Amino acid sequence: MQMAENVMGMSEMPHVVSPAMKVLMNHIYEYKKGVRRMVLFTCNRRYEQYATRRLDSQGISYLVQPVGRQNVNIYFGRRECLEAIRLLVTHPLSELTPEEDFILGAMLGYDICAQCERYCERKCKQQKA
């Protein structure tokens, strides 16, 4: 096992790769292949150090934001996208305005029609309140 860990450059690599880390590795693969320009990965804080070291080793820029007491959001991708995230996401995702939510979803490459539907639903609820 020691040899495999050194090849990966991650001495803290878990012995059994958790589903969360498999998702992270898939996101990194998609980013490196150009499928995505921006990724939002949410995980338990116990995986934060491994995830950020993995991103560092791949030369990928990232931004970490706490989510409650146990989780973190790790945004990674293009630097210009991360700069926009720093300005846009200044409070919990559940508190984003419909416009902020729409922009974030578009940046993350979510289906634009689904984002339009989500925006309209959220905007109508906001106007009724």
Phi, then psi, of 98 in degrees rounded to 5 = -55, -35
High-pLDDT (> 70) share of the chain, %: 88
User: How much is the pLDDT for 8?
Assistant: 42
User: How much is the pLDDT for 10?
Assistant: 45
CA–CA dist 71, 82 (Å, integer): 19
Q: Name the pLDDT band for 4 (thresholds 50, 70, 90).
A: very low
Q: What are the pLDDT digits (tens) for 102-128?
A: 999 999 999 999 999 999 999 999 998
Dihedral of the CA atoms 6, 8, 12, 14 (nearest 10)? -120
User: How much is the pLDDT for 103?
Assistant: 97
User: What is the DSSP-derived secondary structure letter of residue 12?
Assistant: T
Return the amino acid letter for 5. Answer: E
Question: Is 110 strand, coil or helix?
Answer: coil
Average pLDDT, the chain: 89
Mean predicted confidence (pLDDT) in 76-87 = 96
Q: In what side-by-side order are the strands of the sheet with 38-44?
A: 38-44, 71-77, 61-67
Measuring CA to CA, which residue among 30, 25, 35, 33 is closest to residue 55? 25
3-state SS record for 53-72: HHHHHCCCEEEEEEECCCEE
Mean predicted confidence (pLDDT) in 23-36 = 96
Write down the H helix ranges in 76-111. Answer: 79-88, 98-107
* More confident call, 129 vs 1: 129
User: How much is the pLDDT for 107?
Assistant: 96
